Structure 1
Amino acid sequence: MQTHSNQAYTVQTAIPSGFGPQTTASEALAGRDLTGKVAIVTGGYSGIGLETSRVLAEAGATVIVPARTPEKAKAAVAGIPRLELESLDLMDPASITSFAQRFLASGRQLDILVNSAGIMASPLLRDSRGYESQFATNHLGHFQLVAQLLPALLQAGSARVVSVSSRGHRLSGVDLEDPNFEHREYDKWKAYGQSKSANALFAVELDKRGRSQGIRAFSVHPGLILTDLSRHLTDEERGPKLVKDEHGKPVADEKADHMKTIEQGAATSVWCAASHQLDNKGGVYCEDVDISEAVPADSLKGTGVRPWAIDHELAERLWLLSEKLTGVKFTI
């Protein structure tokens, strides 16, 4: 299905949902029972990924969490019901194929796939194919994963794929001519921004191709949260710390009031993964537990999605490039 009428697209504007920046992941689920649902959460053993896994599992879903080193992740997920640890390295195509094959062999449907794993502003590193690590991990690895899990997503009849993007997408669009910094000087922030724009564009095109078969896709800016994702950053780059009162609760502070707790940071991912408010919607970038506003390229706002991250033509071109780079073709 290559052509679609524009009427089928979900408008990139707030619903509004009634939720907001302080909404937690548990609140965003709004009491929904996920018993019988199967979810995979990459990066689901740390930071917002761990909170996403916990909330989905406690709502009744079976949650599979793939990790590069499952033994290391074991302590983090201890005590979460219906959670299964698996092995997966998003920088290794053979590892992705192996994980997908094991999941498909289980015969289970896949109702929810949250692509939450990622790296940020890392020094220049290339995978075995020569691909830049942020683009390879954050985008290409997840692109291959979704392609190879497609039979299980289709089996669900009504599946959601959530890609965790970032407001960092405003730092750079995708350079389709040189995505791996082979002909331009490496800039860790441009590389990060490119990978996060790619996450958003992937949701646009996946939703276009998959919606007639019950697959809806979303991209998410979780908010500004201090997690292990920032391990490559200096203190100055990390920005303001979250200010808490004597009870450990975040307090409003002019420097820190834009920071979120991990419980708040996972809220938009969980909302996109399971909320009935998004039934029959998809292909949109979301933040603060709502569909985000589309803003101009030169906008100085901290919120909103830039044009290059939701452009339908760019989304299709990136899709074709990603198939070429990974050697993996989608069958939708």
Structure 2
Amino acid sequence: MSLKSVRKFAKEVLNEENNIDILINNAGVFNHPYMITEDKLEVHMAVNHFSNFLLTNLFLERMISSKPSRIIFVNSFFYKSGSFNKNDINMDFMNSKQFFKYANSKLANAYFARELDKRIKDFGFSVYTVDPGMVHTQISRHTTPAWFELLLTPVSWLIKTPLEGCRTVLYCAISEELDGVSGNFYRNCAREDWSKVCSDDDISRKLWDLSEVATRLNDLRDNNNRGLNQ
């Protein structure tokens, strides 16, 4: 995974599409073996946060011109277990366990979504964050062996199919009920309160600044795509 691929994808879309009405940030890895990407970023933060941050900012100008537009972040309730270290851009914490790397990256998602919502209030589009719940996908392939999945068969009804898992995502993407509403967290097509763990405005702004540096966002902006700054 590299941020170069994100920039390449964004360029292709911007060249082909005059309007971007909905952006669903669903890229993610879970409990991936320890890896540092070519951008010198820990893989959970690289995929789950920095790629979303970069892609969203590269699309902002086009989305503003396409308003009303919506941005949806696919998150997880595990963000509540995350923590932030302003001196460690990878939120790596001395090679902490992979689960906490995932939780930290999802906390970064939450902070980014909330900070983005503050910055785009006057630009005519909305931001939503979704927890799809436990969904049977390949995201747990680095953690769950095939034999363990067989043991889960008796309780498989507790785990959503991909179709079931995308319902809240689609609800936030197209529901007319949410017109004029922005910045909230949703699960099972219903709003839930944000955890206090992502309520620090100073961290929110600091993470945005760190993310701009990590993704070299300011180097990529041109007269047609300046992103949002404060």
Q: Which residue of 2 aligns with 1:320?
A: 209
1:241 matched residue in structure 2: 152
Which among 160, 171, 193 is matched to residue 271 of structure 1?
Answer: 171
For 1:266 and 1:188, the matched residues in 2 are separated by: 25
**Counterpart-to-counterpart distance in 1, 2:148 and 2:126:** 35
The residue aligned with 1:224 is 134
1:238 shift after superposition = 7.0
Alpha-carbon contact 1:200-1:218 (below 8 Å) kept: no
Query: 1:41-190 maps to which residues of 2 (within 5 A)?
Result: 91-180=1-90, 184-190=94-100
Aligned-partner residue type, residue 148 of structure 1 = L
Deviation at 1:129?
2.2
2:44 touches 2:105 (CA, 8 Å); kept in 1? yes
Distance in 2, Cα, partners of 1:328 & 1:239:
45
Query: Cα–Cα, structure 1 residues 237 and 140, in superposed 2: closer, same or farther, change >3 Å?
Result: farther
Structure 1: how far apart are the matches of 2:149 and 2:80?
Answer: 17
C-alpha spacing 1:166/1:152, structure 2 compared with 1 (3 Å): same
**SS of residue in 2 equivalent to 1:123:** coil
Structure 2: which amino acid aligns with 1:331?
Answer: G
Could you tell me how far apart the structure 1 residues matched to 2:130 and 2:91 are? 25
| TM-score, with structure 1 as normaliser | 0.61
Encode CA deviations 1:259-304: one digit per residue, 9 max, x unaligned.
Answer: 222222101111111111111111122111111134xxxxxxxxxx
Name the CA distance, whole Å, in 1 between partners of 2:85 and 2:171.
Answer: 30
Instruction: Show the counterpart of 1:291.
Output: 191
| Structure 2 CA distance for partners of 1:158 and 1:181, relative to 1, 3 Å | closer
CA distance in 2, matches of 1:221, 1:237: 24
**AA matched with 2:73:** S
* Corresponding letter in the other structure for 2:198: A
Provide TM-score, normalisation by structure 2. 0.86
Q: Which moved more, 1:148-157 or 1:110-119?
A: 148-157
Q: Which has the higher helix share?
A: 2
Q: How many angstroms does 1:323 deviate by? A: 0.8
What percent identity do the matched residue pairs reach?
29
Distance in 1, Cα, partners of 2:150 & 2:96: 23
CA deviations over 1:82-105 (Å, ceiling 9, x no partner): xxxxxxxxx322222122122212
State how far apart, in whole Å, the 2-side matches of 1:240 and 1:191 are.
27
Aligned residue in 2 for 1:301: none
Conserved 8 A contact 2:76-2:130: yes
User: How many angstroms does 1:312 deviate by?
Assistant: 3.4
Partner of 2:227: 331
Q: Which amino acid aligns with 1:328?
A: L
**Residues 182 and 172 (structure 1), Cα distance of their counterparts in 2 relative to 1, 3 Å cut:** closer
**Which deviations, in whole Å up to 9, do the C-alpha atoms of 1:5-45 show, x marking residues without a partner?**
xxxxxxxxxxxxxxxxxxxxxxxxxxxxxxxxxxxxxxxxx
Hey, what's the Cα distance between the residues in 2 that align with 1:183 and 1:207? 28
Residue segments in structure 1 that go unaligned for 5+ positions in a row: 1-90, 244-254, 295-305
The residue number in structure 1 matching 2:221 is none
Q: Could you tell me how far apart the structure 2 residues matched to 1:311 and 1:237 are?
A: 39
Q: Is the 8 A contact 1:272 1:278 kept in 2?
A: yes
Q: How many residues align?
A: 220
SS of the residue corresponding to residue 313 of structure 1 reads helix
* Unpaired stretches in structure 2, ≥5 consecutive residues: 219-225
Contact 2:82–2:100, Cα closer than 8 Å, also in 1: yes
**AA paired with 1:97?**
R
